[in-house]
Amino acid sequence: MNLNELKHGKARAWIDEMVKICEPDQVYLCDGSKAEYDRLMQEMIDSGLAIPLKKRPNSVLFRSQPSDVARVEGRTYIASQKEEDAGPTNNWIDPVELKKTMTKLYTGCMHGRTMYVIPYCMGPVGSPISKIGFEITDSAYVVCNMIIMTRVGTKVLEALGTDGEFVPCLHSVGKPLAKGESDNGQWPCADMENKYISQFPEERTIWSYGSGYGGNALLGKKCFALRIASVLARDEGWLAEHMLILKLTNPEGKVKYVTGAFPSACGKTNLAMLIPTIPGWKVETIGDDIAWMKFGDDGRLYAINPEAGFFGVAPGTSDQSNKNAMESCKENSIFTNCALTEDGDIWWELIGYPAKGKLVDWKGNVRDALPKDKSPKGEEFAHPNARFTAPAKQCPCIAPEWEDPKGVPISAFLFGGRRPSTIPLVHQARSWNHGVFLGSIVGSEVTAAVISDQVGQVRRDPFAMLPFCGYHMGDYFKHWINIGKKTTAEKLPKIFYVNWFRKDEEGNFMWPGYGDNSRVLAWIFDRCDEKDNAVETEIGFMPKDGAINTDGLDVSAEAMKEILSVDKEGWKKEIDDIRKNHYPKFGAKLPKELMEELDALEGRLK
């Protein structure tokens, strides 16, 4: 598309200003069509940057530089005007200083490259919950990923009109080319000290430089959908959350929608695409990562998935752990930092089967395959953060209403982390504020898999939003408390805390997890209808004896009793840790309501 077709004056002025700074060889306005996607992908295949996969129709493999493999939290900034507004859990730089530093880096950064202008919509085009952005980038890889992950092109421009609001997002890989120079099939990016992923919350602007990977470069993902959207949500009275959205249908055909927030490595994508093991129940996906929720006219919260694709972690994904994810990326998908098999397919650790013959690992080295699908730490064939980008519409369990512009009404929020002890399989909050308290203490126990001196300690990730909240977490907790005052208690979602990861004294998991988590979802479903299947305890409502269906499960009555009981001594230690190590971080901005909930819990446990 020609830039002259852009009739939005403010957007055009911003693009012209960025062209002057970045000095690209040419400027191209993306239309989001299949022809455009295919042409850009073919250019990357021809240049040696992308490898077509013989075994997967219309799918390719990319290999990034070893310095550009994941989100770089240490180089991610919330550049609010006041440092206190960013809070203690975000990196802050004065916005004026940061703009100066980054403008220097951006000056001439697109020499030898095309500037792609991507008009994109987060959420179904035309939904009152959706928002529009423009991403400027010099990476065709980013364009193709954004076409899968968001709604791109002409229909977005039509919805924007001549004066609609948009979030301006500027991205460059930070590798200008001299005349006649090319990338020679090598992934372009800048050195670590020149990588910046910057959010300017007051301006609603995103600037990213130096990385071509994932959430650092696909600016609709964490940068817009969470860091900037959380600020918009606070100011406009809604919620932008790091949550999956599930549709549950019980054997009688009754439907409920629930969302869930889980820190990384806690089975979030597996839960989002769960295949239930109890007869008559159906689980479908609305979204696997992000939920935007606004109040409807009826006083209930309605959620959309602002994304149009999955950007899933590949290693550990298998037919056993997540068959629906495996089906989703069978075609029309982009793979990054996976291994390549001799017959032209991808492979990764814990894919469920060993590879044969030789593999090309994610660094491009040819190596003999192993007899099993595991590799020694540090010698992986696929990078531990290798990814697949797949269209959500290809998921076998995608719900028919996943793109309903109204959104879906939410009945329950789930929180959870990886906790080998103390936290039971499931418990329900006593009230909205008690639920906000539960969200605020979410965490996972640090295991020996992480090089850390904190093994055995709880690493807190409140609401699974710690790396993604665009402002002070104390104010974020207060925003959740305020949301609870916007409607009646019966119209608010009920709040639950789940823990699939309890272990026995030998270190074995006590609950089978995966599809059997549907048994816990069934109990939650009934609780949303106030079914009398719970007992009140010191920590909240818990399943009555026998209320969770264990037919056909290899879990003893003793084990069920243990994972569904209140560990009073464990909770007293938990309270001590929250009081000493967690809540003090938020200083004077910690809402008094949360301290009241902590004190009340302590009182009940005495």
Q: How far is 333 from 209, CA to CA, in rounded Å? A: 25
Q: How far is 182 from 480, CA to CA, in rounded Å? A: 50
Burial class from Cβ neighbours inside 10 Å (0-12, 13-18, 19+) for residue 164 reads middle
Query: What does 144-165 look like in DSSP terms, one character per residue?
Result: HHHHHHSEESHHHHHHHTTT--
Other Cβ atoms less than 10 A from the Cβ of 29: the count is 20
Contact 462, 473 (CB under 8 A): yes
Query: What does 416-482 look like in DSSP terms, one character per residue?
Result: E---SSSS-SEEE-SSHHHHHHHHHT-EEE--TTS--TTTTSEEE-GGG-TTT-SS-HHHHHHHHHH
The catalytic site residues sit at 266
Burial class from Cβ neighbours inside 10 Å (0-12, 13-18, 19+) for residue 111 reads middle
Strands 131-137, 114-122: pairing is: antiparallel
Angle CA(213)–CA(217)–CA(223) in degrees, nearest 5? Answer: 125
Q: Which residues are bridge partners to 283 per DSSP?
A: 248
Burial 360-389 (b: 16+ CB within 10 A, else e): bbbeeeeeebeeebebeeeebbbbbbbbbb
Q: How far is 301 from 494, CA to CA, in rounded Å? A: 11
Cα-Cα end-to-end distance for the chain: 68
Q: How far is 461 from 327, CA to CA, in rounded Å? A: 31
Instruction: Identify the three-state secondary structure at position 586.
Output: helix
